[in-house]
Amino acid sequence: MSPRNEEQNALIKDERREQILSAALKVFASKGFAATKISDIVAGGGMSHGLVYHYFKSKEEIFYELLKRAMTTSSESLLMVDKLPLPPVEKIRQTARYILKSIEDYEDTAYYFLIVVHASVMEAPDEIKGLMDISNTAVQTLAGFVREGQRTGELREGDPMGMAITFFAAIEGLAIYKLSMSNFKMPDPEILVGIIKKG
C-alpha cells in the first residue's frame, strides 16, 4: 500500500469517526445519556450498527469522547485568555464574547454545553465523572479573573466562585434557548459581564 493510500484511508477513518460523534452529540444533547441507545445514534447519523461498533465499544465511550472535547475546549480557551496582557474585566469580556459568538455561529457549541449539563446531573461511570474536574478548571480560571478584578476595584464584591458559576450557568441557559428557539439571537456579551462588573 502506498503512503498516499494510507493517508487516504486514515482520512476516511477520521471522517467516519467524526460522523458518528456528530450524530451522537445531537442525540445525547436531546435525550440525555441514560435514554440514548446506540440505535438512536445509528438512526440519527444514517449509518449501520457495525460502523459504530467498529470505532466505539459502547455509548459510554462515545459520550466520554464528546464530554472530553467539551471540557478540554472550554478550559483551554480560558487558559489562553488568562495569558493575555489584559485587565481582569477585559478577560471576562473576551471570554463572554468568544463563547456567545461560538454558540451563535456554530450550533454544535450549544449541543456541547448541553452535554456538560447532562453529565453534571446524571448517574455515570467514574471515568465520565472524572472529566468534570476539567470543567472545574474553567470555573476556577474565571473565578481567578474575578478575584483579580476585585483587588483592582473593577469588579463587584462577592464570592468569586459563586460569580463564576453564575456566569457559566447563564451561558448554559442561553445555549438551551439557542437550540429551542429558531429565531433566538445571542444577547450582548456586556449583559454577562454585568453580572460581575462593578456599577
Q: How do the pLDDT tens digits run along the chain, 199 residues long?
A: 455 576 666 666 788 899 999 999 999 999 988 899 999 999 998 889 999 999 999 999 999 999 998 888 888 888 899 999 999 999 999 999 999 999 999 889 999 999 988 887 776 667 777 777 777 788 999 999 999 999 999 999 999 999 999 999 999 999 999 998 888 889 999 999 998 987 6
Place of cell 478584578: 149
Q: Could you give the C-alpha distances from 45 to 9, 35, 56, 135, 189, in angstroms and in order?
A: 21, 17, 14, 28, 34
What pLDDT is attached to residue 53? 93
What pLDDT is attached to residue 4? 56
Task: Find all residues with CB under 8 Å of 116, minimum gap 6, and list them.
Answer: 67, 70, 71, 74, 135, 172
Please say whether the dihedral angle defined by the alpha carbons of residues 87, 165, 186 and 30, taken in this order, is positive or negative.
positive
What pLDDT is attached to residue 84? 92
What pLDDT is attached to residue 1? 45
C-alpha span between 193 and 199 (Å, rounded): 11
C-alpha span between 42 and 51 (Å, rounded): 9
CA–CA–CA angle 19, 71, 160 (5° rounding): 155
What pLDDT is attached to residue 127? 75
Mean per-residue pLDDT over the chain, rounded: 88
pTM: 0.83
What pLDDT is attached to residue 71? 85
Structural domains in the chain, CATH included, are 3-193 (1.10.357.10)
What pLDDT is attached to residue 116? 87
Please say whether the dihedral angle defined by the alpha carbons of residues 126, 173, 74 and 56, taken in this order, is positive or negative.
positive
Amino acid in position 24:
A
Contact 141, 79 (CB under 8 A): yes
Closest CA to 154 of 198, 110, 105, 191: 198
